Structure 1
């Protein structure tokens, strides 16, 4: 039986890596459905992710293609594993505090409790290490999210430190471990 991976992409320079992640997961036989925040579309186009996932990409929470179904609820029901990669500080904060103001957070909040949920943060070191971000990550961990920790690297801003998106091989491995638990 084909497993459905919901790949949520938020506004980080690492959003471009979602193309490769989507492509890898599709080639592994997963049914990949992509959600994007509006900020993510500034870094990578929905069309790119649609071509690679072979499924429509969902950005607008209020766009309902079928009047008989509520899109974000149906997407949550179909999800076997949810991953937010990259996870920006903003989207982490929204999730931790229950905001459902975009497609990513609305689907995440509608997920069944037993669904595996992963997040792979990507942001500036100071943003990642900020006590507020760390507290938000702790809230999400207490609510069933597993963090794929960022790596240390030279970041897009030129700073060096922890905050770069984890290597895609590590992310794919974690997805495969979790989806079949």
Structure 2
């Protein structure tokens, strides 16, 4: 069963955020758009490139009222140590959520049980706490924040414009489609 259009399940976790340990729950994902960005582990190879890319795009995400939550099965202590020791990870201003019990990873169905790590899962969640976009990538394929931004813009657009849809490669400001019988077979 797909998680699309389902509400985020309850969780409680500790995150490293702005030099402090803070509690994060599913309630924090409500009231604004959220990205929950799962990755396998701290101190690895592809993960810091992805998290750094998100950090480089964080100001734009914030300007769109989007909060980012990176999540791995590491502890919040490990997130702090990585943040303190890596120039790339040191740029991060969004919460780095620890999920050592795997509850969040299981809630989002990205847990690789045999190794206790999360898949590369990306979830865009609307202000009501409902999952609008989900994407799972193989462990050896890094993600691109510009692709994520495009999807967020499309999700926000269709949320504000019921009855319209965004076609492939849609960019903000471009034409959308209004599904109708007249369009069937003409696209």
* TM-score bucket of the superposed structures, by smaller chain: 0.3 to 0.5
TM-score under structure 1 length normalisation = 0.39
Q: Which has the larger radius of gyration?
A: 2
Which has the larger helix fraction?
1
Specify which structure has the bigger relative contact order, considering alpha-carbon pairs within 8 angstroms and separated by 6 or more residues.
2
TM-score under structure 2 length normalisation = 0.38
